[in-house]
């Protein structure tokens, strides 16, 4: 899994502010990976339809997601 950072772009000030991440669970590259992740990010983080144009993702800085390891120890306390 890769965590891809989601940004809100202010085109007037020319800044990108990170607002969250989306996880890419696909193990292989497909034809529409970037577009599908962008659509998911816009659905999750856009305040309205006009704000969706300001939501972008940066796949170049994708990093491996750090997930907690599963353990077999289920003892409480």
Q: Give 23-51 pLDDT, tens digit per residue.
A: 888 777 777 788 889 999 999 999 999 99
Contacts by 62-65, CB closer than 8 A, 24 or more apart: 62/2, 62/3, 62/4, 62/5, 62/24, 63/2, 63/3, 64/1, 64/2, 64/3, 65/1, 65/2, 65/3, 65/23
Q: Give 45-71 pLDDT, tens digit per residue.
A: 999 999 999 999 987 755 544 455 555
User: What mean pLDDT do residues 7-33 have?
Assistant: 87
What's the pTM value of the predicted model, to 2 decimals? 0.71
């Amino acid at each position: 899994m890769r965590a891809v950072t989601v940004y809100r772009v202010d085109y007037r000030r020319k800044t990108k502010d990170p607002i969250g991440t989306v996880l890419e669970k696909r193990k292989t590259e497909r034809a529409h990976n970037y577009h599908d992740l962008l659509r998911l990010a816009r659905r999750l983080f856009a305040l309205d339809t006009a704000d969706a144009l300001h939501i972008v993702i940066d796949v170049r800085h994708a990093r491996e997601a750090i997930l907690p390891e599963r353990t077999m120890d289920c003892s409480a306390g």
